[in-house]
Structure 1
């Protein structure tokens, strides 16, 4: 285990007891021999609040330490004309909009094949709509099938049910109807609903019944697929009631909840997967530096570290813990985090463009982002290369 900065809130701008551990101010250094450094940053992440914002969440990762990153950032600053008064290089502030085309071209050259970041960067993408339908299946329907002796997780049936509802739901229910279903499901499973006062079991099953009735009235084939899944979910009230009963109360410290209470937080899926793939790619144990933000409390990082330690062994890919440490830092102190911000920002711009939004950054960067997309991203039935094609992937959403 590496030595962390132990002074309260050392190396972070976040204050309070929730941010008193897991802080790092000292530069990351691959030469120290304690494990290769990976910098990660997210874009479009709002915890388990998976409805109402951008449809996609991105986790950008760069396998580089601060010394290597500083050289790249300095060159980018000089060639992009970024003023010295700007303390950090940030994607949203400096690489978006119609007037930033030259800067995006320079960024594209860094990420493109042969560029200094291409073989070091990855983009993990989560389609929040698919993520929510997958949670409806895993937290309710899988439990019901398991009780009668069927495993729909390992045989792929559960994934297919989630795909059917996510891909066909918008056409079967209409955009507004599908959004309502997703919104109510998010509200029911969210941590903020621990007492069940915001969204009750009755609320959830009212929207499931109404969605089923609407889908049954439609005659299109895709409506039948969605209706079939909704019919199965309609039978899962007992499982929903069990979930509500087992939901921890507000007095339970977050750190004692393990992974269960974070079941609808996409980072719990994204971070362990990205760390595992980086370990398989680069070998050895890794040290991971995350950009500090309010949702990444010490308890949250504890949960993510436990998940990362377990995921490789669960899949049989790694026999021992491949994570040396998981800490947070400020991007102003760590050039590697600034590069992770650029990778995450580029991924989010492409995601917005892919979802039909007018985004010049996404349109320009999609050819170089495609090779960086993690093949295990949660992208419904799309392959990484499909995610960045306007002629096929975007057409599905029209």
Structure 2
């Protein structure tokens, strides 16, 4: 594979659909691996030879076991088999919910990072949990109760927080949210007509566009090979390709494969699972600093991440998180 004929294999880890605040994971990861097939085959074979598990299908969990730490370090290390040929885009799910809420209700995401950081400090754990869960329910496509219930719950929660924190720095943002009921009602009414092509809360589709942007930097064409996903219908693949084109990203194709039949996708699956676990450990203050340092060169600087300490550890600096509006604005 040459840089003029770049084919990148992709997979994800941490997908809970639209349930971003009550699912099994708090981080979503989308990885791309730019190795030729023969090199990926040799890498997967080496991993199997080093781990020697009888399992037919290897997953990231095999490499994350303490007894296989040396294999994990070998895989991620500078000069290792995927170094400079792999990349992972991370999405901190709670921040993604706040970002998408700000996009829908305020018309932009300029306040998302401030609301996320200041809100967590100001509201307390219980108040913050209530807010993000109400926001998640508001934006979800599927809902079993009355059509107006998610909006009523969200704005009741916002009103409670406004009363409790009226003299804090976050109060003006809460006031703006409280005044956005019509936008929320329009959104919920639109869902009654049928599910949208692009779910507002699913991070996979914009992550694929971002992965294409990373690998096509410098104007190179890129083709993506992706593990099969129910979400990746022909219509949504067409949306990905058109969104990339409008953003000036030279994505020339996206095709789906069975992960077990493409060693490059297997490596992307390994990297996505490893990155999700290590990033989650950072988010929950239980990180292994040595492993985080090994992961850092693979992390996309445009990852959607709000937690300040995790941002510093994973991206090597403290700076504002990159909101998803650049790509998600088309959603």
TM-score of the aligned structures, taking structure 2 as reference length: 0.85
Give 1:371-386 correspondences, 5 Å limit.
Answer: 371-380=297-306, 382=308, 386=312
State the partner residue of 2:217: 280
Aligned equivalents of 1:383, 1:287: Cα separation in 2:
34
| C-alpha distance in 2 between matches for 1:44 and 1:387 | 20
Q: Distance in 1 between matches of 2:301 and 2:19?
A: 24
1:239, CA displacement in angstroms? 1.5
Return the offset for 1:208: 1.0
2:134 counterpart residue number:
184
Measured after TM superposition, the shift of residue 246 of structure 1 is 2.5
Alignment pair present for 1:42 and 2:12: yes
Structure 1 counterpart of 2:55, from 83, 86, 105: 86
Contact kept in structure 2, 1:130 and 1:378, CA below 8 Å: yes
Cα separation, 1, equivalents of 2:284 and 2:29: 17
C-alpha distance in 2, partners of 1:332/1:372? 23
Distance in 2 separating the partners of 1:48 and 1:296: 15
Aligned counterpart, 1:237 = 181
Instruction: Determine the C-alpha separation between the residues in 2 that align with 1:298 and 1:64.
Output: 26
Distance in 1 of aligned mates of 2:292 and 2:274: 8
SS at match of 1:192: coil
What is the alpha-carbon root mean square deviation over aligned residues?
Answer: 2.9
Separation in structure 2 between the aligned mates of residue 278 and residue 205 of structure 1, nearest angstrom: 41
- Against the structure 1 CA distance between its residues 249 and 227, is the aligned structure 2 distance closer, same or farther, given a 3 Å change threshold? same
Q: Structure 1: state its 5+ residue gaps.
A: 1-29, 143-152, 218-223, 394-398
User: Residue 292 of structure 1 is aligned with which of 213, 216, 228?
Assistant: 228
The correspondence for 1:100, drawn from 62, 68, 78, is 68
Residues 272 and 304, structure 1, Cα contact 8 Å, conserved in 2: yes
Q: Distance in 1 between matches of 2:313 and 2:212?
A: 22
Per the TM alignment, residue 291 of structure 1 is displaced from its structure 2 partner at its CA by 1.6
Tell me, what secondary structure is at the counterpart of 2:123? helix
d(CA) in 1 for partners of 2:22, 2:289: 23
Cα shift at 1:76: 2.4
CA distance in 2, matches of 1:73, 1:63: 14
Using the TM superposition, give the Cα deviation of residue 102 of structure 1 relative to its aligned residue in structure 2, in angstroms.
Answer: 2.5
CA contact (8 A) 1:39 1:288 kept: yes
Q: 1:114 to 1:247 in 2, by over 3 A?
A: same
Partner Cα separation in structure 1 for residue 7 and residue 317 of structure 2: 38
The CA deviation at 1:387 is 3.2
CA contact (8 A) 2:33 2:82 kept: yes
Residue 100 and residue 75 in structure 1: after superposition, are their counterparts in 2 closer, same or farther (change >3 A)?
A: closer
Matches within 5 A, 1:1-398: 30=1, 35-53=5-23, 54-78=25-49, 80-83=50-53, 85-92=54-61, 94-107=62-75, 111-142=76-107, 153=108, 158-159=109-110, 161-193=111-143, 197=147, 199-216=149-166, 224-247=168-191, 249-250=193-194, 257-258=196-197, 261-280=198-217, 283-311=219-247, 313=248, 318=249, 322-356=250-284, 358=286, 363-380=289-306, 382=308, 386-388=312-314
Secondary structure of 1:289's match? strand
> Which 5+ residue runs of structure 2 have no aligned equivalent?
320-331
Deviation for aligned residue 1:137: 1.4
- CA shift in 2, pair 1:292/1:357, >3 Å: farther
**What's the offset of the Cα at 1:194?**
9.5
What are the superposed Cα offsets for residues 173-230 of structure 1, whole Å, 9 maximum, x if unpaired?
111211111111111111214996384322221111112222237xxxxxx2322211
| Distance across 1 between alignment mates of 2:148 and 2:223 | 39
1:373–1:302 CA distance, 2 compared to 1 (3 A): same
The Cα shift of 1:324 comes to: 1.9
